[in-house]
């Protein structure tokens, strides 16, 4: 026998170590998440298309380093967190400032205007073409400050166009 028991044990231990390290990657930087979904309405009408963004609120102790977004379609959304190590459904529990972005390109109306009717004057608080008021589009101004708790729940966002 060319191999002694000690050599076999050493090689076997080395193979076990290599196999265990093969599954190791970067640590999960998102952590545990809570499902987050809800409805977005603007002036009591479901938002046709856009997105919501959950920004961790450091002022309320949320130090999460994740980007959490969700597409809005026909007023419904659900959020997914993304970090350099991957993505997960939901967001880590904590306080968030929530913003709404619309699918309407800046300077264009979301629907085609009726040529037989005069074009309505744009609201002074919203950029032309945006169906939500400007305050809902920035973390510094948004009135949506939400605590995401274990168990989740629907997080409905009721915005206005003015």
What pLDDT is stored for residue 132 in this prediction?
Answer: 92
pLDDT band at 115 (very low <50, low <70, confident <90, very high): low
Contact (Cβ atoms closer than 8 angstroms) between residue 147 and residue 94: yes
Look at the chain and count its residues.
Answer: 162
Q: Residue 87, Cα to own-chain centre: how many angstroms?
A: 10
Domain ranges for the chain:
37-112+121-159
What span, in angstroms and rounded, lies between the C-alpha atoms of 90 and 94?
12
Question: Which pLDDT value is given to residue 77?
Answer: 96
Q: What percent of the chain has pLDDT over 90?
A: 52
pTM, full prediction? 0.70
Residue with more model confidence, 65 or 96: 96
């Amino acid at each position: 026998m060319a191999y002694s028991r000690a050599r076999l044990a050493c090689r076997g231990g080395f193979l076990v170590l290599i196999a265990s390290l093969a599954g190791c990657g970067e640590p999960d930087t998102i952590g545990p998440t809570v499902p987050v979904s809800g409805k977005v309405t603007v002036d009591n009408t479901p938002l046709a298309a856009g997105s919501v963004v959950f920004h961790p609120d450091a002022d309320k102790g949320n130090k999460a380093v994740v980007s959490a977004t969700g597409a809005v379609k026909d007023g419904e959304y659900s959020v997914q967190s993304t970090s350099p190590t991957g993505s997960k459904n939901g967001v880590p529990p904590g306080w968030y400032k929530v913003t709404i972005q619309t699918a309407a390109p800046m300077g264009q109306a979301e629907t085609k205007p009726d040529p037989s009717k005069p074009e309505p004057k744009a609201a002074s608080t919203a950029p032309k073409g945006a169906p939500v008021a400007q305050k809902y589009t920035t973390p510094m101004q948004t009135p949506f400050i939400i605590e995401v708790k274990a168990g989740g729940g629907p997080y409905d966002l009721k915005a206005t166009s003015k």
